[in-house]
């Protein structure tokens, strides 16, 4: 069999259209697949890049975070201490009133004792 440019191939149109459709579908599927792979690789690279950037903290930032945590714990301690001081203030005021009452009672007792000694 000799094949040249004048050789004719007889093929039904139905088969030819089938081959063209199959080849075009293959090309379309290949381009969609490569597009999807490229998109996924790009998003993975961006995600990795963002993750690395977030994990790399400047020592100044780390120091600031430590200072903020320390200051927050000190503020909590001060709030607790202030609440205790409020209770202490009430207790001190009550104690001062009691001391004044005791002083007046002692003075009254002294006066009674002096008066008893002078009547004899």
pLDDT at 120: 52
SS3 sequence of the chain: CCCCCCCCCCCCHHHHHHHHHHHHHHHHHHHHHHHHHHHHHHHHHHHHHHHHHHHCCCHHHHHHHHHHHHHHHHHHHHHHHHHHHHHHHHHHHHHHHHHHHHHHHHHHHHHHHHHHHHHC
The model's pTM: 0.37
Is 70 exceeded by the pLDDT of residue 81? yes
Question: Average pLDDT, stretch 57-77?
Answer: 84
pLDDT band for position 17 (cuts 50, 70, 90): very high
Each residue's pLDDT tens digit, 97-116: 999 999 999 999 988 888 88
């Amino acid at each position: 069999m000799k094949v040249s440019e004048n050789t004719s191939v007889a093929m039904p149109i139905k088969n030819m259209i089938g081959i063209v459709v199959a080849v075009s579908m293959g090309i379309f599927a290949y381009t969609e697949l490569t597009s999807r792979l490229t998109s996924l690789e790009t998003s993975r690279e961006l995600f990795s890049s963002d993750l690395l950037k977030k994990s790399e903290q400047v020592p100044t930032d780390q120091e600031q975070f430590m200072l903020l945590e320390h200051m927050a714990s000190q503020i909590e301690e001060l709030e607790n201490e202030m609440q205790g001081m409020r209770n202490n203030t009430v207790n001190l005021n009550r104690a001062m009133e009691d001391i004044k009452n005791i002083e007046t009672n002692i003075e009254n007792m002294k006066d009674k004792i002096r008066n008893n000694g002078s009547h004899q």
